Structure formats: structure tokens, C-alpha cells
């Protein structure tokens, strides 16, 4: 039986790898390395550097595959993501069936934690439901959310209160009513600009765990424009950006 290890590698700093993740790296025969083009070459290079740094005393191969861009979602977000996952699943199927011999171990290195806003687990589940035979093991990683809180030296939740994790697409609906702390991921449109800014603090971070890390915190009404400008400049400089942030209603603690 082929085996696939889904290894969480943390949010940008190789030192974020857990002992469990390092041990898992040293079990893999072939790594699947997604290639998202030159704009995100740094992400591909980090995966390769992690293998070079932590794998000792055994041979392994890497297989790079170009990941198709997701088409504009329009009014059918779920349908667009479904089609995109179907395209990527065909790449994983070829990797498993053509590059991974029976009884061998394959590995996928996932940013942050595999269970938090990542599609790899769903894609592999799709393949298994289609009859592709392999076993899966998941190794958790340090997420961008954990790094964000550590860098800003804050707790995610206020005393006795929950914290909600959502996306920029859902922020306006989710940050209402009784919710006072919201972590936002996958926000390409700076949805915080559409939030009633008075009485709200923001803790924002980009390229968390990397040498290019940027942190901004303050009253949303005062730093919203600064974040928008710095985010735009950083994206133009690097060709890509990964950011997340916490919104908190003032006075929670």
C-alpha cells in the first residue's frame, strides 16, 4: 500500500518544524512539490531548503508540478473551487500512481497546518473516493494564526470568550452581533475596510515567520490606510503576499 504523509511545515520559518514533522520528512521517498510560478518561487524554494536541512542519511526524490491558477469565482465560489480542486487532484493522482511505487512513502509539505484553510486533505479524500488506493497520515504544523498571536504578544481570545476564524469573503457577516474577536485569513480584498472601524483594534501580519515579516497593530480607524498601502507595496515588491489578522472589539479584556 502506498502511503502519503501530509506534513505541516509551519508559517515560513524552518525552525517552526516540530520534531514529529522532521521525523516524518525522514520517512518520505518522494516529495510532491507544487509549483505556482515564478511569483511564488520563494515558497517552492523553502520546501526544497527544508528537505535539504532536515533529511539525513537517506535518499529521496522531489517531483515538481505546475499548479493551475484558479479562475475568477464570480457568483459561484464553491463551484469554482470544486473545479480547481478537480484539476489539482489529477496532478496528485499522477504523482501517486506514476511516481510512487507500491509500498513507498510520498510526502506533501503544507504551509502552516494541513487542517486549516488548506485543500490538500480534501483533494486526497476526493481521490480515495474515486478508488485510488493509498493511506494518509497527517502531521500538524504551527499555523500563521499562532505566529500572529506570538509576534504581537497577545492571546487570541478575550477572557471567557470564543474566537472566530473566518475568511475575508465572510468577514462582514461574521464580525457582528456577539462576536468580539475574529481571525481573518485568505483576504485578498482587505475586507477590514468594510468593517465599522470605531471601537475595533487590528493586529495584522504578513510573510509571518520569514525575513520579510511585517507587523502592524492599532486602532482600525487609524491604521487601516497604512496597512492597505504597505500591503500593496509589499505585493508589488515580492509578487505575492500571505497575510492574516485579528480584529477585536475594544474593551474585551
What is the average per-residue pLDDT within 92-115?
89
Decide: residue 171, CB within 10 A, 0-12 exposed, 13-18 middle, 19+ buried.
buried
Q: Taking phi first (over 0 means left), then psi (-120 to 50 degrees means alpha), and beta for anything else, what does residue 183 get?
A: beta
Note the pLDDT of residue 38: 58
Q: What is the DSSP letter of 177?
A: T
Note the pLDDT of residue 12: 85
pLDDT digits (tens, 9 = 90+) for 216-251: 999 999 999 999 999 999 999 988 899 999 999 986
Note the pLDDT of residue 121: 92
C-alpha span between 26 and 233 (Å, rounded): 39
Note the pLDDT of residue 3: 94
Short-list 130, 142, 163, CA closest to 209: 142
CATH superfamily of 144-249: Tetrapyrrole methylase, C-terminal domain (3.30.950.10)
Short-list 234, 239, 232, 143, CA closest to 189: 232
Would you say residue 168 has pLDDT above 90? no
Instruction: Compute CA distances 98 → 93, 186, 215, whole Å.
Output: 8, 33, 43
Domain 3-139: give its CATH code: 3.40.1010.10
Partner residues linked to 116 by β-bridges: none
- Work out the mean pLDDT of the chain and round it to a whole number: 88
Short-list 187, 203, 186, 234, CA closest to 42: 234
Note the pLDDT of residue 252: 55
Q: What are phi and psi of 91, to 5 degrees?
A: -65, -45
Would you say residue 68 has pLDDT above 80? no
C-alpha span between 249 and 247 (Å, rounded): 7
Note the pLDDT of residue 223: 96
Domain locations in the chain as residue ranges? 3-139, 144-249
Note the pLDDT of residue 227: 96
The confidence band for 105, taking pLDDT boundaries of 50, 70 and 90, is very high
Amino acid at each position: 500500500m502506498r502511503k502519503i504523509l501530509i506534513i505541516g511545515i509551519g508559517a515560513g520559518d524552518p525552525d517552526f518544524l516540530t520534531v514529529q514533522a522532521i521525523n516524518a520528512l525522514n520517512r518520505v521517498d518522494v516529495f510532491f512539490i507544487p509549483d505556482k510560478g515564478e511569483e511564488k518561487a520563494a515558497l517552492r524554494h523553502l520546501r526544497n531548503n527544508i528537505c535539504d536541512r532536515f533529511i539525513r542519511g537517506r535518499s529521496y526524490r522531489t517531483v515538481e508540478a505546475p499548479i493551475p491558477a484558479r479562475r475568477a469565482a464570480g457568483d459561484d465560489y464553491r463551484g469554482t473551487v470544486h473545479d480547481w480542486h478537480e484539476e489539482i487532484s489529477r496532478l496528485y493522482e499522477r504523482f501517486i500512481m506514476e511516481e510512487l511505487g507500491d509500498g513507498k512513502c510520498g510526502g506533501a509539505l503544507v504551509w502552516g497546518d494541513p487542517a486549516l484553510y488548506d485543500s490538500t486533505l480534501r483533494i486526497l479524500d476526493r481521490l480515495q473516493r474515486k478508488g485510488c488506493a493509498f493511506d494518509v497520515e497527517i502531521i500538524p504544523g504551527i499555523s500563521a494564526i499562532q505566529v500572529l498571536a506570538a509576534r504581537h504578544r497577545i492571546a487570541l481570545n478575550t477572557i471567557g470568550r470564543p474566537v472566530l476564524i473566518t475568511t475575508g469573503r465572510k468577514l462582514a457577516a461574521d464580525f457582528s452581533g456577539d462576536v468580539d474577536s475574529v481571525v481573518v485569513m485568505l483576504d485578498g480584498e482587505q475586507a477590514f475596510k468594510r468593517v465599522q472601524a470605531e471601537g475595533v483594534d487590528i493586529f495584522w501580519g504578513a510573510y509571518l515567520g520569514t525575513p520579510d515579516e511585517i507587523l502592524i497593530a492599532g486602532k482600525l480607524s487609524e491604521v487601516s490606510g497604512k496597512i492597505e498601502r504597505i500591503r500593496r507595496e509589499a505585493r508589488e515588491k515580492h509578487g505575492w503576499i500571505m497575510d492574516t489578522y485579528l480584529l477585536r472589539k475594544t474593551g474585551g479584556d
